[in-house]
Amino acid sequence: MAKLGLIGLGKWGINHARAYSELAKQGVCKFVGIADVNPMARAESDKLGVKFYTDYNQLLKEVDAVSIVVPTNLHYKIVKDCLNAGKHVLVEKPITSNSKEAKELINLAKKKNLLLMVGYLFRFNNAVQILKEMVKDVGQVQYITGRYVHSNKPPRKDSGVILNFAVHLIDILDYLLEKKPKRIYCKKKNFLSKEREDVAFINLDYGDFIANLEVSWFHPQKARDLWIIGERTKIYADLLEQTLISYPIEIKQDEVIERDEKFIEVEKNEPLFDELKYFCAAISDKNLQKNHAQSAEKEYLFTKICEICLKSAQLDQELDVEAELKKNG
C-alpha cells in the first residue's frame, strides 16, 4: 500500500486531504501527512489524524508519493524536488507556469521512471466519460462552445484565467476529440488585476470545425459547460451538475429539423476522489504508469497552447500552432 503525502493545504488542498483520508479508510493508500508553510494548517492535519510538517522535505522522507496543491508559480521547484527525491507526483494543473519548465519536469520523470500526473479533474467526471462516447455518434463536428467562468471570484496572483481555466477546456477537448488545433486566436482583458488577465475569449480552429472558449473569474454566474454541434446531433453538457442533453437533428437544404430532446442518464460521481484513487492505483500499476509516460507530452502541449493564446492576445493576431511549436522544439 502506497504511503501518500500532501503538499499545500489551501482551499483546494483541503479537498485532497479529505479525499486521501477517506481512501485510507478504504484501504487504498496510507495517508501519512501534510506539509504547509502556514502553521495554522496543523489543525486540519490533527483533525484527520496525520502528521504535519512546515518543511515538505521532511514529509518526503516518509512517503512514496505526493499531491502538490500550491500556487502555480511554486509548481516547478516543488515538483522537481519531489522527483529528485524519488517520489511519484500528482500536481494540480497547470503542470508549471511555462512550457520550458513543463518539458524539463516531464523528461526528469521519464529519466527516473516515476509517475508524473497532472490533475485534470474533468477527465474523471462521469458526464465527460459518457460524452466521449456520445461524440462518436454526432457525425461531423461543426462547432463547439465552452465556458469555464466564475462569479466574481477574487483574481489569483500566480496566473490568469488562461492557465487556470482555459487549460481545463483545452484538456477536455483533447480528451473528447483526440485532435490538436491548427490555429489559435485569443482576446483577453484585465479588469480586476493589472498583472493577470481576468477574462479571455479563445478561438481554436481545428480545420474542419472550430471551438470558441470563454474563461473568466469576472462573470455573473459559475458555469462549466459545453455545446457540441454535430451534423446529426447537438449535445449540451453541464459539467458542474453532471447532466447531458442530446438534441437529434436532420440537416436539409436551408433547413434544420430538430427532434425531441433526450436527457442522458449520468451516475454522478466525485471526480477528485476518483482521480486520487486512480493516482494511488497508478503508483503500483506499471501499465497505468506506461500510459501516462506515453501521454506526458500532452502536458507540455496544453501549457504551450496556453502560451500561444497569450501571445495571440498580445499580438492581436491568429497564430499557427505547428509553427509556434517548432520555434521552441
H or E segment and range at residue 263 = strand 262-264
Residue 306 has pLDDT above 80, yes or no: yes
Residue 83 has pLDDT above 90, yes or no: yes
For 173-177, 194-198, 229-233, which range has the lowest pLDDT when averaged over its residues? Answer: 194-198
> Strand ranges (DSSP E) for 100-198?
116-119, 141-151, 183-189
For residue 295, what pLDDT band results from cuts at 50, 70 and 90? low
Domain 3-120+273-288 annotated CATH 3.30.420.240: no
What is the β-pairing status of strands 233-238 and 223-230? Answer: antiparallel
Q: What is the percent of the chain with per-residue pLDDT over 70, rounded to a whole number? A: 97
Residue 326 has pLDDT above 60, yes or no: yes
Residue 294 has pLDDT above 60, yes or no: no
Annotation: CATH topology of 123-270+305-322: Dihydrodipicolinate Reductase; domain 2 (3.30.360)
DSSP class per residue in 193-238: -SSS-SEEEEEEE-SS-EEEEEEEEEESS-EEEEEEEESSEEEEEE
Three-state DSSP state, 90? strand
Q: CB of 323 within 8 A of CB of 181? A: no
Compute and round to an integer the Cα radius of gyration of the chain.
Answer: 20
Could you state, in order of their start, the residue ranges of all structural domains in the chain?
3-120+273-288, 123-270+305-322
Question: What are the tens digits of pLDDT across the range 159-189?
Answer: 899 999 999 999 999 999 999 999 999 999 9
Question: What are the tens digits of pLDDT across the range 259-269?
Answer: 788 999 999 99
Residue 153 has pLDDT above 70, yes or no: no
Residue in 153, 157, 151 with CA at minimum distance from that of residue 194: 157
pTM: 0.93
Question: What are the tens digits of pLDDT across the range 84-135?
Answer: 999 999 999 999 999 999 999 999 999 999 999 999 999 999 999 999 999 9
Cα(270)–Cα(23) distance, integer angstroms: 13
Number of helices followed by number of strands (H, E) in the chain: 11, 16
Residue in 78, 77, 54 with CA at minimum distance from that of residue 66: 78
Q: CB of 67 within 8 A of CB of 117? A: no
Q: CB of 89 within 8 A of CB of 116? A: yes
Q: CB of 141 within 8 A of CB of 228? A: yes
**Residue 88 cell numbers, joined:** 511519484
What is the β-pairing status of strands 141-151 and 262-264? Answer: unpaired
Q: CB of 131 within 8 A of CB of 180? A: no
Cα(34)–Cα(51) distance, integer angstroms: 6
